[in-house]
């Protein structure tokens, strides 16, 4: 996620920070007002060896495929023609990692996860469609759940992973829960900073609904050749230039995703939420009584906020690594 002013990871919901940023850029809120969150941006300072993930403004990144082409990052091509960039590191059982909203596959390496986990796993990281070096469809259908899931499985195929462990953070965990519920290829899943139930709800759902209603007609007008960017307000022009319209479409697709209950998940799953993440823990209270008899094990991350549950790698991996070791299978 990203703070509108700082770009640091923050938490109100797996999508809320991007929603807030997009709303700010599109003049839906004052540009001098910082959205209220339940936490402060607490990502620790960068060091020369380990920099924090820095989500791009509005959840956007460089033009799709530009950096991938320059650095020859491997890609797969989805059935609809969308390019999906990915990287593979390490040896051992396959571990497929799904980044949070406003992040990319690089965020895992920047924070140090790849160096740690690649010692025991073949780490497979991809840029979800609409992120990083992957393609950016300009219609809601381009972000349909079946397409996103197919992307991930196609990357696993390209990496030679018949079955794999799964690790998702934030938005990536929200997507990952569908894989854990639908695909027998998932050996085990680690879902961090995710909520059970609907993909989005409450104020986030309302914000995404408004965003999609605002920006989708503009994208359609652009395709029809009738959009005059000069006639947009300064705030909307700035938002358009920073890709907020496509972010609105990509995030808005979550409105169409079905809910997931703990009983729906097929694979052994570790569900981690920062104990200081008020929104996440409120969701946990709704589902704690529904975990018995399921394959989901919940653990709070003591003293950690949503931001910390990505940024503070040591206490997070102290829970993750033993779980992955207990469910590990030989590389396939």
The rounded distance, in Å, linking the Cα atoms of 2 and 240 is: 18
CATH number of 60-200+259-327: 3.40.50.1820
Taking the CA atoms of residue 299, residue 19, residue 124 and residue 164 in that order, the dihedral angle to the nearest 10 degrees is: 50
Under 8 Å CB-to-CB from 297, ≥6 apart: which residues?
268, 269, 270, 271, 291, 323
Q: What's the start-to-end Cα distance of the chain, in Å? A: 33
Confirm if 213 and 205 have CB atoms less than 8 A apart: no
0.75 surpassed by pTM: yes
Please state the domain extents for the chain.
60-200+259-327
Q: What's the pLDDT score for residue 330?
A: 57
Secondary structure (3-state) at 130: coil
Residues in the chain: 332
Q: What's the pLDDT score for residue 36?
A: 31
Task: Give the pLDDT confidence of 50-80 residue by residue, as tens digits.
Answer: 333 333 323 333 344 444 455 689 999 999 9
Q: What's the pLDDT score for residue 71?
A: 64
Strand order in 75-77's β-sheet? 75-77, 83-89, 122-126, 94-98, 164-169, 186-192, 269-274, 296-301
Q: What is the DSSP letter of 21?
A: H
Look up residue 234 and give its two tokens. Answer: 């300064």
Confirm if 59 and 2 have CB atoms less than 8 A apart: yes
Confirm if 301 and 308 have CB atoms less than 8 A apart: yes
Confirm if 114 and 51 have CB atoms less than 8 A apart: no
Confirm if 171 and 252 have CB atoms less than 8 A apart: no
Q: What's the pLDDT score for residue 148?
A: 98
The rounded distance, in Å, linking the Cα atoms of 58 and 263 is: 35
Q: What's the pLDDT score for residue 11?
A: 36
Q: 93-125 burial, b for 16+ CB within 10 Å, e for fewer?
A: bbbbbbbbbbbbbbbbbbbbbbbbbbebbbbbb
Cα torsion angle, 189, 109, 111, 102, sign: negative
Residue 304's DSSP bridge partners are none
Regions in the chain scoring below 70 on pLDDT: 1-71, 329-332
Task: Give the pLDDT confidence of 22-31 residue by residue, as tens digits.
Answer: 444 333 332 2
Look up residue 264 and give its two tokens. Answer: 């729906």
Q: What's the pLDDT score for residue 19?
A: 54
Confirm if 273 and 298 have CB atoms less than 8 A apart: yes
């Amino acid at each position: 996620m990203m703070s509108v002013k700082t770009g640091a990871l923050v938490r109100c919901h797996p999508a809320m920070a991007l929603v807030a940023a997009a709303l700010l850029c599109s003049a839906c809120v004052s540009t001098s007002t910082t959205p209220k969150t339940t936490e402060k941006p607490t990502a620790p300072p960068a060091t020369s060896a380990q920099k924090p993930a820095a989500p791009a403004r509005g959840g956007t990144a460089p033009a799709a495929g530009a950096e991938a082409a320059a650095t020859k990052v491997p890609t797969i091509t989805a059935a609809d023609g969308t390019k999906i960039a990915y990287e593979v590191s390490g040896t051992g059982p396959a571990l497929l990692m799904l980044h949070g909203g406003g992040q990319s596959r690089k965020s895992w390496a920047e924070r140090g996860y790849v160096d740690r986990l690649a010692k025991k796993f073949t780490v497979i990281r991809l840029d979800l469609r609409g992120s990083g070096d992957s393609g950016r469809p300009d219609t809601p259908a381009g972000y349909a759940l079946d397409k996103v899931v197919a992307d991930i499985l196609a990357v696993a195929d390209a990496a030679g992973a018949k079955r794999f462990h799964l690790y998702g953070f934030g938005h990536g965990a929200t997507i990952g829960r569908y894989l854990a519920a639908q695909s027998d290829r998932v050996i085990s899943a680690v879902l961090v900073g995710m909520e059970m139930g609907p993909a989005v709800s409450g104020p986030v759902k309302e914000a995404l609904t408004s965003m999609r209603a605002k920006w989708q007609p503009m994208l359609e007008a652009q395709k029809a050749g009738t959009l005059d960017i000069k006639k947009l307000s300064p705030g909307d022009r700035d938002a358009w230039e920073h890709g907020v319209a496509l972010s609105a479409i990509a995030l808005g697709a979550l409105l169409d995703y079905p809910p997931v209950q703990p009983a729906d998940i097929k694979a052994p799953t570790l569900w981690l939420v920062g104990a200081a993440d008020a929104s996440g823990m409120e969701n946990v209270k709704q589902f704690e009584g529904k975990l018995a008899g399921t394959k989901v094990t919940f653990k709070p991350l003591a003293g950690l906020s949503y931001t910390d549950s990505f940024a503070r790698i040591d206490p997070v991996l102290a829970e993750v690594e033993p779980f992955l070791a207990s469910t590990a299978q030989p590389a396939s």
